[in-house]
A and B are shown apart, each in its own frame.
Chain A
Amino acid sequence: MRRLLRDASIYLAAVLVLGTSANLIPRRHLAWWGKGHEPPQAGVDFTLVDPASADAERASLPHTLFLDTRSPAEFAAGHVAGAVALSYTDLDSQWTPAFDARLRRADTIVIYGSSEETDVEQLAAQELHRRGLPPPQVLAGGVAAWQQAGLPLEGATP
């Protein structure tokens, strides 16, 4: 029993060391005590937009900016025309003054991922909103819905 408790304590100590060290890495850092990381709320941090409406906005608003949260390989394989790759987990290093200016110039921002699961896009939208931008739009259904709606991707092989 003593050995079991000793080993269990070693596990706990290792978890504390590893967790603390990993949380010092800026791109995956979380505040130690939870505040301000409430779940993104539709209507507050973002609004959902369907592909047809997003495409219509693109046609009518000259500075509609699409942000693509997928992997670089997926982005290279085809993305919405004019879209900018956005790494949610590496947002700080991507947030240069030029990037900031580009975001603030946009008439509207549409964030999209690959599929129906839009939680990363919602978190990215929440982060942009926290940084002083109007609540961005999140493309419902992601690229999959965009393609299903018959809308084109730039760089995609037909």
Chain B
Amino acid sequence: MSTLRARWLHWLLGIVLGGVFLYASFSKLLDPRPLVTIIWGYRILPAGPINLMAIYMPWMELLIGLGLLTGLGRRSAALWAVLLLVMFELALGVNAIRGVNVACGCFSSSAEDVHNAWVLVLRDLPMLLAALVMLVFPPRSSADPAAAA
């Protein structure tokens, strides 16, 4: 359990997961319009809020990536990462159960980047676990006697 609170682990997870979020945000930030098509393809949200999601979600991904990478507000970045990843898992899971393979919009804004939904569900799980570690097991502070021991 003490390993989960190790500073090096949080830096490592932050760099890897932060890099993933930064990479995921770029194409959507440049032009969010194809993302509307992708979110539509999930067939979960009604037309109205789809655009709001396409407008704001890439910026959340960018800030999560920066927060995890730099360590600035890393725990709150991890909290938002957990919320986003749980949302992705639910959306992908619903479509996997429906038997619909969707364009996930994970790392590209191409509506034709279609994958098996179950594969996508499994692919997001390690990221969710990494974010949960950073959220639930904050690293020991240097003043912590247990850390000094």
Contact = CB atoms under 8 A, between A and B. Distances in A.
Given A7-B76, A15-B60, A116 B41 contact: no
B31 A89 contact: yes
A118 interface: yes
A12 B63 CA distance: 9
A10 B66 CA distance: 14
A86 to B, nearest CB: 14
A28 B110 CA distance: 16
Given A8-B76, A30-B55, A32-B55, A39 B63 contact: no
Nearest to A6: B76
A40 interface: yes
Given A30-B51, A34-B47, A11 B110 contact: no
Contact of A120 (B34, B52, B58): B34
B76 A119 contact: no
A57 to B, nearest CB: 24
A15 B33 contact: no
A5 B49 CA distance: 25
Contacts of A88: 31
A37 interface: yes
A33 to B, nearest CB: 5
A33 B36 contact: no
Contact of B75 (A7, A33, A38): A7
A123 B51 contact: no
A38 B40 contact: yes
A19 B56 contact: yes
B48 interface: yes
Given A19-B56, A28-B31, A119-B111, A40 B80 contact: no
Most B-side CB within 10 Å, residue of A30, A31, A88: A30
A10 B73 contact: yes
A122 B109 CA distance: 13
Nearest to B56: A19
Contact of B34 (A22, A35, A119): A119
Interface string B71-110: 0010111011000000000000000000000000000001
Interface in B20-54: 29-34, 36-37, 40-41, 46-52, 54
Nearest to B40: A39
Given A7-B73, A28-B31, A30-B32, A123 B80 contact: no
